[in-house]
Amino acid sequence: MTKTFIHLNLFNGIDNKIYEDSYLTVDDEGKIVAKGTGVPEDDSKKIDLHGKYVMPGLINAHTHIMMNPQTNKLEFLSEAEVTFTALKNLDTLLHAGVTYIRDCGCPFDVDIKLKRLQEAGQLGGTEIVASGRPMTMTGGHGDFKEGLDGNVTWGHLVDSPDEMRKAVRQEFKMGAKNIKVMATGGVMSSTDQVDDTELTEKEIHVAVQEAHTKHMTVASHAQGNNGIQISLDAGVDSIEHGIYVDEKQADFMKEHNVFLVPTLNACAGIDKYGVGKIPDYMIKKNDLVKRDFFQNVGMALKKGVKVVVGTDAGTPFNSFETGTTDELELIVGLGVSPYQALLGTTQYAAELLGITDNYGSLEVDKMADFLVLDNNPLEDIKSVSQPDKSIYKKGVLVK
């Protein structure tokens, strides 16, 4: 039966305003079929929200659903362990108000396999844009072993343009919609530094060429400045982390609509909880970059780069439950408005994920994924962190 949510104050995910005393009419398939103000005179079931605030469901554009942020185990995971952990994390995300994610690297292509189940109607909940296994060089960030025999790695090991082409085509065959490339070292890998350049521009260019001719995007893990530059030169769609992004690169990103997904919460989690609990090399690398990281992301925001909310959820102490709203607060802490931060988990995030036809804003003909809050998120970003907020996925209350 069609139902209409009435007496709500609407942030639609696009406009920097609240539409007071609004209504949303949702059909049996979870799609918004009408919206307006007041109470419509129709025979739909009415659900009174009593003046509460409604905003789109949160989108997190950088997760690792295979990871447990407490155990931090990366090596020698079985496919059963990865799948079990992923399902638990998806459930946690949904109950936190995160209704869509882009997963940015998952062993055994588990994210792709779960997405297939969603498309077949066998698995509900938080939906996935899947990347499958990431692309890394031998010994690079992502060369972690998986499988009980230790003969399989988390990432595809690509050491030439031809190997990259084959690996991207393998992920295309599996059903990936995004390709993750590891352009630089990272905080969590023991054999490199964050400013090490790993994949070459030619290798990344091949990934982009293959992806863009097959309706896929490319996300580049790029922390060091040179890795960011070769990723931009190769034509990637998003820079992940972007610790040492400079002003010239930020100007280029704004002009060419390249998104930045900084994952500030990954740095903040290690800084707050990591000492004595994770290897010293992670602490040292995190301490080395954190000041520049926040400063450079703040610069990019002020220049108008489209900064998208992604958390790197699953990395040490980087919660699937609170990480997305923590990221929003960290972005606002860099000196921008709640509205600008919220675009990163609504409109901008949907653009990056390629899901704007159905998600990212609350409009007619889009899916009714939304949160119900006590307070105005455009006035106080902490409103989104409300622990007892109501969450609707395709118009159905999440229990």
Separation of alpha carbons 28 and 200, rounded Å: 49
Strands of 126-194 (E only): list them.
127-129, 135-136, 145-146, 152-153, 156-157, 178-182
Residue 301: predicted pLDDT: 98
- Among residues 344, 336, 187, the alpha carbon closest in space to that of 267 is found at 187
Q: Where are the alpha helices (DSSP H) in the chain?
A: 79-95, 110-119, 161-174, 201-212, 225-234, 247-255, 264-273, 280-303, 323-332, 338-343, 347-353
Q: What is the pLDDT of residue 278?
A: 87
In the chain, CATH 2.30.40.10 sits at 3-56+361-397
| Per-residue 3-state assignment (H helix, E strand, C coil) for 226-294 | HHHHHHHHHCCCEEEECCCCCHHHHHHHHHCCCEEECCHHHHHHHHHHCCCCCCHHHHHHHHHHHHHHH
Instruction: Mention every residue, 6+ apart, whose C-beta is less than 8 A from residue 384.
Output: 55, 58, 97, 325, 328, 342, 371, 373, 377
Any idea which architecture 3-56+361-397 has in CATH? Roll (2.30)
Select from 63, 128, 17, 85 the least CA-distant residue to 312: 63
Neighbours of 151 (CB within 10 A): 8
Q: Does domain 58-353 have CATH number 3.20.20.140?
A: yes
Instruction: Give the integer Cα–Cα distance in Å for 184 and 182.
Output: 6
CA atoms within 13 A on the CB side of 201: 8
Residues in a beta bridge with 135: 156, 181
CA distance 261 to 113: 25
Tokens of 306: 């489209």
pLDDT of residue 71: 83
Give ranges for CATH 3.20.20.140 in the chain: 58-353
Q: What is the pLDDT of residue 190?
A: 82
- Residue reference for tokens 């990432």: 155
How long, in residues, is the chain? 399
Which DSSP state fits 399?
A: -
- Angle between helices 280-303 and 247-255 in degrees, nearest 10: 60
pLDDT (tens place) for every residue of the chain, 399 residues total: 899 999 999 999 999 999 999 999 999 999 999 999 999 999 999 999 999 999 999 999 999 999 999 887 777 788 999 999 999 999 999 999 999 999 999 999 999 999 999 999 999 999 999 999 999 999 999 888 776 566 677 899 999 999 999 999 999 999 999 999 999 999 888 888 999 999 999 999 999 999 999 999 999 999 999 999 999 999 999 999 999 999 999 999 999 999 999 999 999 999 899 888 888 988 998 999 999 999 999 999 999 999 999 999 999 999 999 999 999 999 999 999 999 999 999 999 999 999 999 999 999 999 999 999 999 999 999 999 999 999 999 999 998
Hey, what are 283's tokens? 């602490």
Structure confidence at residue 146 (pLDDT)? 72
Cβ burial, residue 327 (10 Å; 0-12/13-18/19+)? buried
- Distance of CA 342 to CAs 23, 161, 175, 374, Å? 21, 38, 30, 17
Q: Express each pLDDT in 304-361 by its tens digit.
A: 999 999 999 999 999 999 999 999 999 999 999 999 999 999 999 999 999 999 999 9
Q: Is the dihedral of CA 91, 103, 250, 294 positive or negative?
A: positive
Q: What is the pTM of this model?
A: 0.97
State the Cα–Cα distance between residues 42 and 40, nearest whole angstrom. Answer: 6
